[in-house]
Chain A
């Protein structure tokens, strides 16, 4: 990792209002609003806490990053940076690192606001670690999806359209927004699994859910392979020596 490029990508995110609002303000705002009507049902509060916890990487990547990156792609910044020796994969890597830092930071701020507002105890340490891992894996999965979308669709309007549909689609299917009944499929959606599994175990010392992590890793591996293939192909017409 190159430090100035990491700083560059951090500043790039920091300068983007959409990323700041949806990445940092959306989850606590929604959490407080929805939590307000269940303020004395701990089980429901846990569920709401985890639901909007899950929206942090989702909003950061699908709403913030997708707008930023697709505009860079459309206006040729991605290519320009490549010509300065900042390769596409390196750009992806530094952007991902910066977003992950933002997601972790936002998750901490959100947790602090939500838990202290509703006077809930801090989850058990081993649960916190699992939540962090889930958050990072989710960020990576969403990131690869949006990165791929942008490389394939190129234009801001197209990328953003698809990203927004996916954003709301994922929130609806996972039951964060509205109450659509997805039946048994719900049990296999990582976010839904995460929320229902952990809502009852936030205070447990011995609870470990390997299934969610495994799911995420498989998804991640598949996506990485696709991205590698696509990025490799789109760089395929370099000058011949």
Chain B
């Protein structure tokens, strides 16, 4: 679906991103994580051809949708009029649009102006317009950054159902490990303009953490990594006798991310 080869993007004479090889298959949902300024948006923008780049980006579809990190529509009219204008349609004559509006429970927002609706609703409005195009490849850049926990959760549940129905290939940039857990098939971590990890979360876990891990007191920083299955009981027994609260995991994304980043920064 998407192949990137020897990609290099510079702003001025500063190289912001290099990717030697990246391949995303049809129907895969890729979660992209990395610190602010690491090059996540740059990756999205170069795949879309919005910024000049060296190298090769091959996309096997013309139906590309994108939700950019920044959101802005005109302030001169209501949301409904913006949607109708940009999609060149009428809501009351367009069942596909009505379905999307219902799906994202957006109808109460239609008569408002864009600047007056909440962050979560802004994202829904963009999603409605993006998904109306029925993209086979979809880029979501920090869709949920700045949303409160409940809005994020609601949106992710809606999207999960949508992607499952439509077999959409998705590249999703996010800061929330939980979203990767719920949605993504693969995790891609960018650091300092380079891809430092790209695989299924389970395999990254095995590679960077081990067989399993005990997270103590719900702090990622205080965790005990376990390499062999038969060591688990000893660790658990010790934690119990210490009176610690803990949970066992074999795929915690936040832990994977922290460990990958540790290796990078050490």
Any chain A CB within 8 A of the CB of B76?
yes
Which among B65, B73, B77, B85 has the greatest number of chain A C-beta atoms within 10 A? B85
Any chain A CB within 8 A of the CB of B66?
yes
Which chain A positions have C-beta within 8 A of B157? none
How many angstroms from the CA of A12 to the CA of B49 in the assembled complex?
28
CB distance from B208 to the nearest CB of A (A): 32
- CB contact between B74 and one of A3, A12, A83 (< 8 Å): that residue: A12
Determine whether the beta carbon of B76 is less than 8 Å from that of A11. yes
Q: List residues of B (170-224) whose CB comes within 8 Å of A's CBs.
A: none
Determine whether the beta carbon of B133 is less than 8 Å from that of A237. no
CB distance from A64 to the nearest CB of B (A): 11
- CB contact between B133 and one of A4, A68, A84 (< 8 Å): that residue: A84
Determine whether the beta carbon of A7 is less than 8 Å from that of B85. yes
Determine whether the beta carbon of A241 is less than 8 Å from that of B58. yes
Against A, the Cβ 8 Å flags (1 = close, 0 = not) of B75-104 are 111000110111111100000000000000
Any chain A CB within 8 A of the CB of B256?
no
Contact A80/B48 with A239-B59, A240-B57 known, Cβ cut-off 8 Å: no
How many angstroms from the CA of A14 to the CA of B84 in the assembled complex?
16
CB distance from B262 to the nearest CB of A (A): 35
Determine whether the beta carbon of A4 is less than 8 Å from that of B48. no
How many angstroms from the CA of A151 to the CA of B133 in the assembled complex?
26
Determine whether the beta carbon of A76 is less than 8 Å from that of B49. no
Contact A12/B76 with A80-B68, A239-B59 known, Cβ cut-off 8 Å: yes
Determine whether the beta carbon of A237 is less than 8 Å from that of B89. no
Any chain A CB within 8 A of the CB of B129?
yes
Any chain A CB within 8 A of the CB of B52?
yes
Determine whether the beta carbon of B72 is less than 8 Å from that of A86. no
Name the interface size band of chain B.
20 to 34
Nearest residue in A to B70 (C-beta to C-beta)? A76
Against A, the Cβ 8 Å flags (1 = close, 0 = not) of B97-137 are 00000000000000000000000000000000110010000
Against B, the Cβ 8 Å flags (1 = close, 0 = not) of A161-184 are 000000000000000000000000
CB distance from A193 to the nearest CB of B (A): 36
Nearest residue in A to B89 (C-beta to C-beta)? A4
Against B, the Cβ 8 Å flags (1 = close, 0 = not) of A1-43 are 0111101110111111000000000000000000000000000
Determine whether the beta carbon of B58 is less than 8 Å from that of A77. no
Any chain B CB within 8 A of the CB of A158?
no
Against B, the Cβ 8 Å flags (1 = close, 0 = not) of A65-80 are 0001000100111011
Determine whether the beta carbon of B49 is less than 8 Å from that of A8. no
- CB contact between A80 and one of B72, B75, B85 (< 8 Å): that residue: B72
How many angstroms from the CA of A15 to the CA of B59 in the assembled complex?
39
CB distance from A3 to the nearest CB of B (A): 8
Any chain B CB within 8 A of the CB of A210?
no
CB distance from A238 to the nearest CB of B (A): 4
- CB contact between B84 and one of A8, A72, A76, A84 (< 8 Å): that residue: A8
Which chain A positions have C-beta within 8 A of B51? 237
CB distance from A130 to the nearest CB of B (A): 33
20 example contacts (A-B, Cβ-Cβ < 8 A) are as follows A4-B87, A4-B90, A5-B88, A7-B85, A11-B76, A11-B77, A11-B81, A12-B77, A12-B85, A13-B76, A14-B76, A72-B74, A75-B70, A77-B72, A80-B73, A83-B66, A84-B130, A239-B59, A240-B49, A240-B56
Which 10 residue pairs are nearest across A and B when measured between Cβ atoms? A8-B85, A15-B76, A239-B49, A75-B72, A238-B49, A4-B88, A11-B77, A2-B88, A237-B52, A12-B76
9 additional contacts (CB under 8 A) given A8-B84, A12-B76: A8-B81, A8-B86, A15-B74, A15-B76, A16-B76, A83-B66, A84-B133, A239-B57, A240-B56
Which B residues have a C-beta under 8 Å from some C-beta of A? 47-53, 56-59, 65-66, 68, 70, 72-77, 81-82, 84-90, 129-130, 133
Which A residues have a C-beta under 8 Å from some C-beta of B? 2-5, 7-9, 11-16, 68, 72, 75-77, 79-81, 83-86, 237-241
